[in-house]
């Protein structure tokens, strides 16, 4: 086969571990899976209306930056796991923040600290249309904000403060900010010591480079690769082992995947 047409090793690895997240949710808790799916439909409609005309993905046509995370999965996991303290990096319009906070509101439990380096501070966005700083998190309604702290600046700058605000222990961590290998590595090095024993971590865009595959190999954590169509998300940690729920969790793969450390 022509080498250039071969799928990237990271894509092959992700495909070989991919499970359908709706099947996974349904196996864990069918009633909650249905609730999450109906919730996602409502959020989709609300978001399209709220963002109409704004320079962000799902707002203006042709704009792809600030695309939403897999909010149906986030809502399901937060409802199911009932974390006390959640931290996330990467907010933009705030689909993921909204889903985590709506789930916490339904749980009547938990708080979220989110960090976002606004587009206005990213060099690559200087001459492109982007959300203004006060539009960061525009998806999050007032009644959800008493559980929420939003810190504007980089992960590096604000992680110590975020960890302090949740009392030094994180039960749920969502990563959707800097997509480079080194950025993910740096952030996880800071977050890792604060993860509670049963913490769940969700990485977005895991196909960008081999960070996720390397991370699961190094930590030996249980994981899944989900959302092939949506751009690939990797939840890991305490998302209920196969022994409990019959979920087709793939075993942690030994051995390094060949190739890339940088974003493709």
Ligand X SMILES: C[S@@+](CC[C@H](N)C(=O)[O-])C[C@H]1O[C@@H](n2cnc3c(N)ncnc32)[C@H](O)[C@@H]1O
Using the minimum distance from each CB to ligand X, give the nearer residue, 2 or 123. Answer: 123
Binding residue count for ligand X, defined by CB under 6 A: 24
Using the minimum distance from each CB to ligand X, give the nearer residue, 105 or 253. Answer: 105
The contact mask relative to ligand X for 42-71 (x = CB under 6 A, - = no) is: ------------------------xxxx--
Beta bridge partners of 152: 116
> Does 92 interact with ligand X (rule: CB under 6 A)?
yes
Question: At residue 208, what are phi and psi to the nearest 5 degrees?
Answer: -60, -35
* Residue list 177-196, contact with ligand X (CB under 6 A): 177-178, 183
Q: What is the Cα–Cα distance from 64 to 184, expressed in whole angstroms? A: 21
> Does 119 interact with ligand X (rule: CB under 6 A)?
yes
Near ligand X by CB under 6 A: residue from 26, 72, 102, 116 = 116
Closest CA to 83 of 237, 214, 232: 237
| 80 secondary structure, DSSP code | H
Near ligand X by CB under 6 A: residue from 55, 59, 83, 94 = 94
> Does 93 interact with ligand X (rule: CB under 6 A)?
yes
CA atoms within 13 A on the CB side of 158: 20
The window from 25-33, 88-96, 105-113, 221-229 that contacts ligand X (CB under 6 A) reads: 88-96
> Does 150 interact with ligand X (rule: CB under 6 A)?
no
Tokens of 128: 């492109």
Rounded (to 5) percent helix, strand, coil in the chain:
45, 15, 40
Shortest Å, Cβ 37 to ligand X: 17
Which residue in this structure is represented by tokens 């009633």? 31
- The CA-atom distances, in angstroms, between 177 and each of 16, 143, 204 are 25, 25, 9
Please report, as ranges, the residues that interact with ligand X according to CB under 6 A: 66-69, 89-96, 115-119, 122, 154-155, 176-178, 183
């Amino acid at each position: 086969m022509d080498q250039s047409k071969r799928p990237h090793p990271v894509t092959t690895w992700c495909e070989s571990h991919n499970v359908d997240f709706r099947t996974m949710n349904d196996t864990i808790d069918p009633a909650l899976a249905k609730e999450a799916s109906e919730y996602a439909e409502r959020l989709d409609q609300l978001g399209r209306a709220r963002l109409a005309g704004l320079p962000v993905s799902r707002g203006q046509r042709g704009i792809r930056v600030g695309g939403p995370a897999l909010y149906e999965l986030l809502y399901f996991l937060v409802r199911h796991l009932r974390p006390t303290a959640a931290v996330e990096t990467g907010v933009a319009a705030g689909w993921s923040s909204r889903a985590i906070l709506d789930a916490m509101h339904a749980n009547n439990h938990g708080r979220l600290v989110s960090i976002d380096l606004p587009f206005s501070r990213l060099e690559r966005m200087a001459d492109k249309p982007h959300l203004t700083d006060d539009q960061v998190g525009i998806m999050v309604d007032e009644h959800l904000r008493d559980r929420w702290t939003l810190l504007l600046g980089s992960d590096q700058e604000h992680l110590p403060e975020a960890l302090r605000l949740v009392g030094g222990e994180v039960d749920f961590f969502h990563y959707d900010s800097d997509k480079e290998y080194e950025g993910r590595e740096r952030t996880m090095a800071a977050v890792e010591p604060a993860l509670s024993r049963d913490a769940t971590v969700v990485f977005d865009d895991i196909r960008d480079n081999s960070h996720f595959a390397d991370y699961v190999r190094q930590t030996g954590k249980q994981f899944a690769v989900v959302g092939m169509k949506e751009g690939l998300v990797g939840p890991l940690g305490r998302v209920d082992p196969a022994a409990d729920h019959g979920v087709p969790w793939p075993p942690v793969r030994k051995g390094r995947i060949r190739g890339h450390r940088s974003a493709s």
